[in-house]
Homo-oligomer: A and B are copies of this chain.
């Protein structure tokens, strides 16, 4: 467990007020920031550099929010696999068509569109190009979650806390949805193939899981 001093040294946490030459005093704002750092690090799996970028954006109200979100989502990598250019071009076209078909408001600089393209290109590169069949069902689900998220922020979060809340929701909400999707896979598999959930796939010949 990294110490408070480490977070201060890395610029994640402002230094406490020195109450004596060897003792710093940390107030409630510090405590709240410290919790956020630890949750992003330990549950969200963000790297220290990504957290520094996210917190810088939280503290700078002139930074566009989609850049904060991009930083918060950095843990997904974003380098992409080399693959081939044909896969990348096809994936870009697929994402553009999806956004147009759904009528989604977006903007050129939203990194999520590029992240989606890269993930689809990687799928194609692994022989799962047909996976794009599922995009509208994924989009229905994403809209459901996004409406729920926005409703929560609107209903429950004071305006001055919303940027921080968006960061928490983006990173931890993803951990929540990921765990739920895996729970729902086991259930969907049990319904499709019958139970036998304790068996290995080699025994039952059938997976519990997704694509």
Interface residues of A, Cβ cutoff 8 Å to B? 32, 35-36, 38-39, 42-45, 60-66, 68-69, 73, 75-77, 79-82, 99, 102, 104-107, 109-110, 112-113, 115-116, 118-120, 122-123, 125-128, 130-131, 133-134, 137-150, 152-154, 156-157, 159, 162-163, 165-166, 168-170, 172-192, 195, 197-203, 205-211
Contact = CB atoms under 8 A, between A and B. Distances in A.
B63 A180 contact: no
Nearest 5 CB-CB pairings of A with B = A61-B202, A149-B210, A169-B211, A146-B184, A169-B210
B43 A81 contact: yes
Q: How many copies of this chain?
A: 2
Contacts of A112: 179-180, 182-183, 186
Contacts of A180: 112, 116, 138-139, 141-142
A152 to B, nearest CB: 4
A171 to B, nearest CB: 10
Nearest to A148: B137
Given A191-B105, A211-B153, A119 B43 contact: yes
Contacts of A76: 43, 45, 175, 178-179
A168 to B, nearest CB: 6
B184 A105 contact: no
Given A43-B118, A178-B174, A183 B134 contact: no
Nearest to A211: B169
Residue among A73, A175, A207 with most chain B CB within 10 A: A207
Contact of A208 (B69, B173, B187): B69
A45 B195 CA distance: 31
A162 B206 contact: yes
25 contacts: A38-B81, A38-B82, A39-B126, A44-B77, A107-B198, A112-B186, A113-B179, A115-B178, A119-B175, A128-B165, A130-B152, A131-B173, A137-B147, A138-B180, A139-B184, A143-B184, A146-B181, A146-B185, A150-B185, A152-B210, A153-B211, A156-B211, A162-B206, A166-B209, A170-B185
